[in-house]
Chain A
Amino acid sequence: DIVMSQSPDSLVVSLGERATINCRSSQSVLACSNNKRSNCKNYLAWYQQKPGQPPKLLIYWASTRKSGVPDRFSGSGSGTDFTLTISSLQAEDVAVYYCQQYSDTPQTFGQGTKVELK
């Protein structure tokens, strides 16, 4: 199985400040179809989970925001190293964030990063 590791486990950030969460996979989640570089995608998603709720998809293909997700959320990275950035933390962003790979079955998740307000 592909192991997903997130850092840090928790993060305390002031309102309006940047939050950065890292995710590393034990093997590359970059896959290319038809052997064309233009058809390469990173099979990596980011989710937000608030207490008592299911995870909510924020970003897929490592950097594509789901419709309706605020643009302060952005994803970057390729291969085995990825980052979720919240550019200006809002009170409603307090949650646990998970990365997930879907390059291989079983799909696997990171252990989560808890984001709190200072």
Chain B
Amino acid sequence: QVQLQQSGPGLVKPSQTLSLTCAISGDSVSDNSATWNWIRQSPSRGLEWLGRTYFRSKWFNDYSVSVNGRISINPDTSKNQFSLQLHSVTPEDTAVYYCAREIAWTSAFDYWGQGTLVTVSS
């Protein structure tokens, strides 16, 4: 059974960096059938895919243009986890952030983290 456990602060000041980590159990961040994603949810923007990291002989990243230039998603193979960094945050980045796995045979998000409410406020 795959489990994704999120960690990270729930309050970030404007202009600072939002950092979250997603620890994986039951699968490997290097699984070449999976991608590892960050998705956020807010009343104003709904469910919004932010980006992903995945391994296919080498590491790849894809990011949404809505946050491109501010986002970094990185795998950590030693800890079997991946992280999200979102720079220069504003109150509009306030949302519940989820990590999620996408696996090749469904190509949908079949496992999700528990979610982290991140509030951007001074």
Per the bound structure, the CA–CA distance linking A53 and B114 in Å amounts to: 7
How many residue-residue contacts, CB under 8 A, span A and B? 51
Query: How many whole Å from A8's CB to the nearest CB in chain B?
Result: 16
Enumerate chain B residues within 8 angstroms of A100, measured Cβ to Cβ.
47, 108-109
A106–chain B nearest beta-carbon distance, Å: 5
Q: Which residues of A contact B47 (CB under 8 A)?
A: 55, 98, 100, 109, 112
Out of B62, B66, B107, B109, which one reaches A43, CB within 8 Å?
Answer: B107
Main SS of the interface on chain A?
Answer: loop
Residue among B66, B106, B107, B109 with max Cβ neighbours from chain A (10 Å): B109
Contacting pair B110 A54 (CB below 8 A): no
B binding-site residues for A, Cβ under 8 Å: 46-49, 62, 64-66, 98, 100, 102, 106-110, 112-115
Q: Provide 18 A-B residue pairs closer than 8 Å at the C-beta atoms, listed in order of the A residue.
A: A54-B113, A54-B114, A54-B115, A55-B47, A55-B98, A55-B109, A56-B112, A57-B108, A57-B110, A60-B106, A60-B107, A60-B110, A64-B106, A66-B106, A98-B47, A102-B108, A106-B49, A109-B47
